Amino acid sequence: MHRCKAKPNDAERERAKPMSVVNSKIELLSPAGDFERLQAAIRFSADAVYLGGTAFGMRVASARFDFDTLQQAVEYAHARGVRVYLTCNTLPRNSELEALPDFLRNAQTCNVDALIVTDIGVLDIVKRVIPDMEVHISTQAGIVNYAAADMFYRMGAQRVVLARELTLDEIAQIRDKTPPQLEIEAFVHGAMCMSFSGRCMLSSYLTGRDANRGACAQPCRWRYHLMEEKREGEFHPIFEDEEGTYILNAKDLCMIEYLDQVIGAGVTSLKIEGRAKSAYYVSVVTNAYRMALDLYQREPHHYILPQWLKQEVTKVSHRRYCTGFYFGQPQEGQYYETGGYLRSFDVVGIVEEWKEGYLYLTQRNKFSVGDEVEFLSPGRQPVQMTITGMQDGSGNPIQSAPHPTMQVRIPSDLTFPCGTIVRMALQDGQGLSR
């Protein structure tokens, strides 16, 4: 593998910030796999959310929004000043196109703010059926140069979501050579695909589930052995040990320390991957990037991320992090030992209210008197607390809360808003889950 470019020092960061970008509005865009996750993204201050309907979206597993639910979601988001983007980014086959015009008209009726599109045929149909709809070109389109970005703009796109394989220098060149009205969106956090811009045939070949139509089985996360049958004596040492290797497994992307560089390159929308992730993941990651972005916008020329914010993004289930291709060809973009996730915290409760010296919680996982927990509220650094006492919903003293969704109250002089997440570190601090 090639070596990454060195991470920039403070002086290089300073030189890399164009003044025109420093004062522009930067959007934080979060995933919404269902209504609960949409509420989490909005509660923790996303500027916009993206979600999928029941068809034409790239995440079959998180296609939770029929048109009734979609309309409710849009009304909920718009009432709170948040934009909603609907994915229409599969590569549809001939048999699917007949249903597309009605899908598009229903999306317009639901008042979504934009459609995310990959296929140029779909783009053409959108422009004919609902010509006033804002269109964003998906990362699946694999835009890696200014000519492609400019062509999509001339075809009616308001935004391009760039390929994840681009460096910061390449993004800056695209920004310099495209109309300033064209918005540029890029992923800053989440799972990476081992195939170019997600255009993968491996799942379809091995399982019959087409990744380009939203049904990826993620075979890149599986463990593999290489067996050569006919070339006797020819040795191919690709494995880590006799158990094989996760040779195709990519690390997760995390650019929270380098938001100044991403914005300086001309990116106007910072996208978090994860429509299939939990509401807890959406909450924590959105909150971390919101606070980091606000910090940058207050002092754009002196962006230094606090240590606690660096730690926040490790407190969700994730694979080992890397910076993707932003600083050049990644030296350590893959992890061969396992395809699982690192998990160091569990959600143990959700705050319902504070009243007369007690926090009222709904339990999510077991916790007990004496446990050290953290309270995560929107826009705040987490607050640590030791559970000194506990009562059930009827006011009876208890030592632990073992039952799912049971009502619990704990004594506290500190107040937290409704929806605050209560979490607890796992004992080994490095849990591994599939």
407: CATH: 2.40.30.10
The answer to whether residue 65 sits within a structural domain is: yes
For position 214, what pLDDT does the model report?
56
- Please tell me whether residue 141 adopts helix, strand or coil conformation: helix
pLDDT greater than 50 at residue 365: yes
How far is residue 384's CA from residue 113's CA, in Å, rounded to a whole number? 39
Q: Are 283 and 212 in contact (CB under 8 A)?
A: no
> Band of the pLDDT at 219, cuts 50, 70, 90?
low
Of the three residues 323, 343, 363, the one that is the final residue of a domain is 343
Average the pLDDT over 352-362 and give the result: 96
The answer to whether residue 215 sits within a structural domain is: no
Q: What is the mean pLDDT of the chain?
A: 84
The answer to whether residues 282 and 364 belong to one domain is no
**pLDDT tens for each residue of 267-311:** 999 999 998 899 999 999 999 999 999 999 999 999 999 999 999
- Select the more confidently predicted residue: 301 or 48: 48
The answer to whether residues 282 and 408 belong to one domain is no
The answer to whether residues 335 and 261 belong to one domain is yes
For position 333, what pLDDT does the model report?
46
Pairing between β-strand 358-363 and β-strand 27-31 as defined by DSSP bridges: unpaired
H helices present in 188-314, as ranges:
202-207, 259-264, 279-298, 307-312
For position 319, what pLDDT does the model report?
82
Domain that holds residue 127: 10-195+249-343
Count how many domains the chain has. 2
pTM, whole model, 2 decimals?
Answer: 0.82
Q: Are 351 and 417 in contact (CB under 8 A)?
A: yes
Average the pLDDT over 397-402 and give the result: 96
Across the chain, which distance is largest between two alpha carbons, in Å?
A: 78
For position 7, what pLDDT does the model report?
52
For position 173, what pLDDT does the model report?
98
Name 28's Cβ contacts closer than 8 Å, sequence gap at least 6.
45, 46, 47, 48, 269, 270, 272, 286, 289, 290, 293
> Band of the pLDDT at 16, cuts 50, 70, 90?
very low
Q: Which amino acid is at 354?
A: W
- Which residues are 31's β-sheet partners? 50
The answer to whether residues 258 and 403 belong to one domain is no
